[in-house]
């Protein structure tokens, strides 16, 4: 069994991600970290899922069992955990969240002492320790060496200050009306607080978590209500976060959702024009629209592509010396202000851009038209290796001969196959997508 996917450990709470698994993952992580321990402290935060109580207690048990001290900070956005881990000089940080998934799922995300997500080779080492029962048994502390845990409730103030510092000091949000959907998730308090402290009038949606309503018909994946309320309240902008607030979706003043690639293009060029973009380009994933590539070239900027996942985006950013990148899904990394995708940091940069241009969001945030692109998720029973599926190579060759870009991959967090097609001929693209979906439904579910 493999533990780590594209973003930590994730699965159905109580079934895949049990209390026992959470405890053993924590023990394995603690054993690995002990080799490089500096402060002997690990930070633990969570989103608003009911299962977070079970998993948090199991993680605390696992860490203290191998001699680590634990600092518990309660519900906090994932990027806040990354920031506070480094700010409080902890050896590592752990975030309990399944991000945009529904409440039934939960997950464990690991950060090093600098607030960066663990690279794949570290996850592999932790996974090897997890399955080594002898090593787990031998590492358990006794007597005075057993760790302790304490809960701190006021660290959110540090994160709020960090967020406000990312916004230009000479500017305020005075006079702006913003609709904010916090997805009944981890930013249900901090999101409205930051925007209001900067002067905005904020209409807040879905900020009453009950343990089961996180991401439920709200947030970054379900924006219909946000769009309607932007129109209803004549707002300047709508902002949607996901359950752990590392993702941002923007709705313009006309109640229309802004595409993530257009957002990346608008922000990237704006940073370059202000002399704030490092590395001569931005990083996006293989999912991003080719129109973003062409738009950046017009401004003498380069688009570097990574594999899917904000961890992979950040890795390429570091390799190329670039400080801005993200995914079209809304994970936007402003590396001068955040170590990982941060929905609130990105939202503040978007608001700053709109204010500086003194134009409606619909004009500012759509600087180029997109090429027709279609993404379809196919539910699968098993993740059969793609290179073993008969007939697939020929079908993909047909698609390439039509000058159509394709990307086919399994989700790292769900039993789904993700199909992406992109082509300037929308009708032809629709026809080929229908053929592709039909092919995979038969090949993977028979």
Residues contacting 264, CB < 8 A, separation 6+: 282, 284, 288, 292, 325, 326, 328, 332
What's the farthest any 2 CA atoms get from each other in the chain? 70
Shortest CA distance to 320 belongs to which of 328, 330, 333, 331?
333
Shortest CA distance to 304 belongs to which of 275, 333, 339, 345?
333
Shortest CA distance to 91 belongs to which of 36, 152, 149?
36
191 φ, ψ (degrees, to nearest 5): -60, -60
In DSSP notation, 337-387 reads T-SS--HHHHHHHHHHHHHHHTS-HHHHT--SPPPPEEEEEEE-SS---GG
Can you say how many angstroms the Cα of residue 14 is from the centroid of all Cα atoms in its chain?
Answer: 23
In DSSP notation, 115-152 reads SPBPPHHHHHHHHHHHT-HHHHHHT---GGGS--EEE-
Phi-psi region of 214 (alpha: psi -120 to 50; beta: other; left: phi over 0): beta
DSSP β-bridge partners for residue 92: 42, 112
Of 51, 97, 99, 306, catalytic: 99
Look up 438 and say whether it is catalytic.
no
The Cα–Cα gap between 289 and 329 comes to: 12
Residues contacting 294, CB < 8 A, separation 6+: 368
In DSSP notation, 277-315 reads --TTEEEEETTS-HHHHHHHHHTT-EEEEE-SSHHHHHH
The Cα–Cα gap between 411 and 185 comes to: 23
What is the DSSP secondary structure assignment for residue 13, as one 8-state letter?
Answer: B
Residues serving a catalytic function are 99
């Amino acid at each position: 069994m493999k533990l780590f996917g594209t973003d930590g450990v994730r699965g159905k709470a109580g079934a895949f991600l049990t209390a026992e698994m959470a405890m053993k993952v924590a023990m394995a992580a603690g054993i690995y970290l002990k080799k490089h321990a500096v402060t002997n402290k690990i930070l633990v935060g969570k989103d608003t899922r009911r299962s977070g109580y079970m998993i948090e207690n199991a993680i605390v048990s696992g860490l203290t069992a191998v001699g680590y001290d634990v600092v518990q900070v309660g519900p906090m956005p994932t990027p806040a955990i990354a920031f506070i881990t480094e700010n409080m000089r902890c050896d590592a940080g752990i975030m309990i969240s399944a991000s945009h998934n529904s409440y039934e799922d939960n997950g464990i995300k690991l950060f090093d002492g600098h607030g960066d997500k663990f690279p794949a080779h570290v996850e592999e080492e932790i996974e090897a320790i997890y399955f080594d029962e002898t090593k787990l048994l031998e590492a358990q502390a006794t007597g005075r060496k057993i760790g302790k845990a304490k809960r701190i409730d006021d660290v959110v103030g540090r994160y709020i200050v960090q967020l406000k510092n990312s916004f230009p000091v000479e500017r305020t949000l005075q006079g702006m009306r913003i609709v904010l959907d916090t997805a009944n998730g981890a930013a249900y308090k901090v999101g409205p607080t930051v925007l209001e402290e900067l002067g905005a009038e904020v209409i807040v949606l879905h900020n009453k978590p009950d343990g089961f309503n996180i991401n439920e018909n709200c947030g970054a994946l379900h924006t219909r209500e946000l769009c309607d309320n932007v129109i209803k309240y004549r707002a300047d902008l709508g902002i949607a976060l996901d359950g752990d607030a590392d993702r941002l979706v923007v709705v313009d003043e006309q109640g229309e959702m802004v595409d993530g690639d257009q957002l990346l293009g608008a922000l990237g060029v704006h940073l370059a024009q202000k002399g704030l973009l490092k590395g001569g380009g931005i990083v996006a994933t293989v999912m991003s629209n080719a129109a973003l590539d062409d738009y950046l070239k017009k401004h003498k900027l380069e688009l570097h592509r990574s594999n899917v996942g904000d961890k992979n985006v950040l890795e390429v950013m570091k390799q190329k010396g670039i400080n801005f990148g993200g995914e079209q899904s809304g994970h936007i990394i402003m590396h001068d202000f955040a170590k990982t995708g941060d929905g609130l940091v990105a939202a503040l940069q978007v608001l700053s851009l709109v204010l500086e241009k003194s134009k409606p969001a619909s004009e500012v945030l759509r600087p180029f038209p997109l090429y027709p692109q279609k993404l379809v998720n196919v539910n699968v029973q098993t993740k059969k290796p793609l290179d073993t599926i008969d007939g697939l190579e020929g079908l993909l060759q047909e698609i390439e001969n039509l000058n159509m870009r394709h990307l086919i991959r399994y989700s790292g967090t769900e039993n789904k196959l993700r199909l992406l097609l992109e082509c300037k001929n929308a009708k032809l693209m629709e026809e080929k997508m229908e053929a592709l979906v039909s092919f995979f439904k038969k090949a993977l579910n028979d």
